[in-house]
Amino acid sequence: MLEVDNLTCIRDDRVLFSELNFTVNRGDIVQIEGPNGAGKTSLLRLLAGLSSAEHGEVRWQGERLQRQRERWHRNLLFLGHQPGVKSIMSPLENLTFYHAEYDDEQRFAALEAVDLLGFEEVAVAQLSAGQQRRVALARLWLSQAPVWILDEPLTAIDVNGVEKLMALFVRHAQQGGMVILTTHQPLPAAVWPLRKISLTAGERI
Ligand SMILES: Nc1ncnc2c1ncn2[C@@H]1O[C@H](COP(=O)(O)OP(=O)(O)OP(=O)(O)O)[C@@H](O)[C@H]1O
C-alpha cells in the first residue's frame, strides 16, 4: 500500500497542491490528471521518492520512503517524462543495461511486445520519438516491480501501442501490481477500474 499523507508541494513560490491525501492499493490503476503546470510530474517525483515535499509524507507499507530507499527502489519502476534511455546504445543494449538479470530471449520478447523487432541493434538516437519511448516502455514487460509510476507513458505512442499498454496495465493490476500514471489523452474505457486524482492549477504565495 502506498499512502500519500497531507502532502503539500510548493515550487517557485507557487503552491502546486496542498494537504493531498490518497492511498494506492494493489490492483489499482490511478491516473493523475490536471492542466499543464498543475504539478503532475512534481507529484509523481514525490511518489517515487525523487524529491521532497514541503509538508506531509509518502509511505510504502507503512514506512516513509526516505527510511527504506533500497527496499522502495526494489519495488518501484519509475519511467519519467523523457524517454529515459541511453541514446548511444541500441534498444537491446539498453535492456541489457537496465535488466541484466534477463537473457536475450526475454529481452527480444520485450522488444517484440513493443514492436521494435528489426530495430534491436539500431542506436536509439536514430529511432523516431515514438520508438524511443517504446524502448523505455519495453522495460515494463521485464519488470518484476509491483509499483509502476509512469509520467506520460502514452506520449508519441500510436493507437495500437496504447491498446497494448492498456492491456499490460490491466494485467499488472490483476496480478496485484499498481500503476500510477499521467496522461493528457483520455484512456480507453477498457481500463477499469480506473481511479482519477485531479490536480488544479496552483496558487501564488
Ligand atoms: N524544481 C523546480 N523548480 C522550480 N519550479 C518547478 C520545479 N519543478 C516544477 N516546477 C514548476 O512547477 C509547476 C508544475 O510543474 P509540473 O512539471 O509538475 O507540472 P505538470 O502538471 O506535470 O505539467 P505538464 O502537464 O505540462 O507536464 C510548473 O510551473 C513548473 O515550472
pLDDT per position as a tens digit, 30-56: 999 999 999 999 999 999 999 989 899
Confidence (pLDDT) at 187:
81
Q: Is 77 in the pocket of ligand 1 (CB under 6 A)?
A: no
CA-proximal residue: ligand 1, atom 2 (nearest): 11
Answer for the pair 75, 36: CB distance below 8 angstroms, yes or no.
no
Supply 173's cell numbers.
493490476
For residues 167 and 129, what is the distance between their CA atoms, to the nearest angstrom?
22
- Per-residue pLDDT at 205 exceeds 70: no
User: Reading across the β-sheet that carries 147-151, which strands appear in turn?
Assistant: 76-79, 147-151, 178-182, 29-33, 194-198
- Per-residue pLDDT at 24 exceeds 90: yes
48-68: average pLDDT = 94
State whether the Cα torsion 51-57-58-60 is positive or negative: positive
99-112: average pLDDT = 94
User: Reading across the β-sheet that carries 14-24, which strands appear in turn?
Assistant: 63-64, 55-60, 2-11, 14-24, 203-204
Pocket test for ligand 1, best of 9, 11, 154 (most atoms within 8 A of CB): 11
Q: Which residue has the cell 502546486?
A: 16
Q: Is 174 in the pocket of ligand 1 (CB under 6 A)?
A: no
Confidence (pLDDT) at 194:
86
pTM: 0.93
Q: Is 132 in the pocket of ligand 1 (CB under 6 A)?
A: no
Q: Is 135 in the pocket of ligand 1 (CB under 6 A)?
A: no
pLDDT tens-digit series, residues 109-150? 999 999 999 999 999 999 999 999 999 999 999 998 999 999
Confidence (pLDDT) at 190:
62
pLDDT tens-digit series, residues 150-204? 999 998 899 899 989 999 999 999 999 999 999 988 887 666 678 999 998 655 5
